[in-house]
Amino acid sequence: QQPVQSPQAVILREGEDAVINCSSSKALYSVHWYRQKHGEAPVFLMILLKGGEQKGHEKISASFNEKKQQSSLYLTASQLSYSGTYFCGTEGPGADGLTFGKGTHLIIQP
Amino acid sequence: DSGVTQTPKHLITATGQRVTLRCSPRSGDLSVYWYQQSLDQGLQFLIQYYNGEERAKGNILERFSAQQFPDLHSELNLSSLELGDSALYFCASSASPGPGTEAFFGQGTRLTVV
């Protein structure tokens, strides 16, 4: 089942913070976060694994609540380059490919 | 640049035709994934190969097929094309078949069926 992302869209001023949430109804092994700019490839940001391991960008933080099957991506002191659509992709233990949410559109204004 | 190469970047073809999309994974990566992205369906997993063998199957139509060759490049074949097949097709690669492995996406092939 497709994970649910919230909010659908957010507009920020440069320097403000944002939180993007991802929620799944199935048991998860990992949550992957990507950012995509229009017409470009999704860019890997972070992966959070069951058990607490994280791999990804130093400047991006995220959390994974295994009990609730929820993940949140924290963008602090946003920069213009953070604009784009953020996708969470969820993965069960069976390694059967990522199931992506519909995305959260983030617009950063100067 | 993720290191994943996809060709061609753009493809325009007529309904009923057949096309082949090509993907070269990052150096050292053994696993290749194919995804389709459209406005109405979003980003959807199609199929995964690992070291030449099919590993996982997602929402791939019977008209679509893929393979991974001994040199690890992969091809996605789309046949009997319909207008609804118009989409961005992405290939991603990872070092291992997962789960919990980072996957890096290529720039995609934009397919337009007219």
CB contact under 8 A, B56 and A91: no
Q: How many CB pairs under 8 A join A and B?
A: 70
The residue assigned the tokens 């990872």 is B94
The H or E element spanning position A102 is none
Model pLDDT for residues A46-85, shown as the tens digit of each residue: 999 888 877 777 678 899 998 999 999 999 889 999 999 9
Q: Are the C-beta atoms of residues A30 and A47 closer than 8 Å to each other? A: yes
Distance CA B75, CA A73 (A): 34
Chain A hits for B55, Cβ within 8 Å: 95
**Distance in Å, alpha carbon of A27 to nearest chain B alpha carbon:** 13
* Paired tokens of B26: 């990052």
Contacts of A93 in chain B (CB under 8 A): 99
CA distance B23 to chain A (A): 14
CA angle A28, A34, A39 (to 5 degrees): 135
Minimal CA separation from A88 to chain B, in Å: 10
- pLDDT tens digits for chain B (114 residues)? 889 999 999 999 999 999 999 999 999 999 999 999 998 888 999 999 999 999 999 989 999 999 999 999 999 999 999 999 999 999 999 998 878 888 999 999 999 999
